[in-house]
Amino acid sequence: MGVRKMRGKRVTLAIAGGLLASFGAFAYSEYCRDIRAARARVSSGSNVLNTPCGPIEYAEAGNGPPVLVIHGAGGGFDQGLELAQPLIDAGFRVIAVSRFGYLHTPISAVASPETQADAHACVLDALKIGRVAVVGGSAGAPSAMQLCLRHSDRCSALVLLFPMAFAPDRALLISAEDDLYGTYPSARYTAAQISGARFVGYPTGGHLLLGHWTEASSEVVAFLQTIADPL
């Protein structure tokens, strides 16, 4: 019986090992496919501006009042365009940048929110855009705020979505209470410190406002239609 049990265990282990190897090969194949698809998605549709602040990648979509969109940690200009699709649909001109170190924008020797904000201003200069509404999502919020603080004449309005943040004048801040990154209390506090700012909070939805994105997007569109500079 002891020999049979040992043989049975070896067979079980061999089967388990084979299944794990098969699952690992499948997962790796899927990973490679997703990486190829992601690289293909960001290989076109953008341009690189040579500015006094260095090379900066950007993409544009839509027509109407300009809105500068600053992405978070999950992508570059592509994430900005996806985040801003409701604005594009509503008749805004969206300029989505890739922050320092993302996609084709090289990392800066001093990659602080302040220097990134100055780079945003360099993009506006290169595109000959005076004032824009600014939308910063997640990790894009610090440089969005610094742009409006350091270059207030270039910022007509500010929207911070699930922000890693504290902010300047004329803002709207949106977050969910169950966001594990803790953006809800900081967004609420920031809104309370800004004259004329409005905080929009949801009890659930997490960092990406799942289940509330359509509602939150409508809030952003309505706000910018009221505040943003016309053409």
DSSP state of 203: S
pLDDT of residue 74: 81
SS3 95: strand
**pLDDT 10s digit of each residue in the chain, 231 long?**
555 555 556 667 677 767 777 777 777 777 677 666 666 655 558 999 999 999 999 999 999 999 999 999 888 999 999 999 999 999 999 999 999 999 999 999 998 999 999 999 999 999 999 999 999 999 999 999 999 999 999 999 999 998 886 555 567 788 999 898 889 988 888 888 888 889 999 999 999 899 999 999 999 999 999 886 655
Whether 45 and 73 have beta carbons less than 8 Å apart is answered as: no
Burial bucket for residue 4 (CB in 10 Å: 0-12, 13-18, 19+) = exposed
Residue type, 44: S
Decide if 135 contacts 162 (C-beta within 8 A): no
Every domain of the chain and the residues it spans: 1-43, 45-227
Question: How far is residue 191's CA from residue 197's CA, in Å, rounded to a whole number?
Answer: 5
DSSP 99: P
> Are the C-beta atoms of residues 102 and 53 closer than 8 Å to each other?
no
Thinking of the domain 45-227, which architecture would CATH place it in?
Answer: 3-Layer(aba) Sandwich (3.40)
Q: What pTM, to 2 d.p., does this model score?
A: 0.82
Give the per-residue pLDDT at 19: 73
Paired tokens of 31: 């990973």
Q: Which residues have C-beta within 8 Å of that of residue 208, sequence separation ≥ 6?
A: 162
Q: Over 34-73, what HEC string results?
A: HHHHHHHHHCCCCEEEEECCEEEEEEEECCCCEEEEECCC
Q: Which of 184, 194, 183 is nearest to 155 (CA)?
A: 194
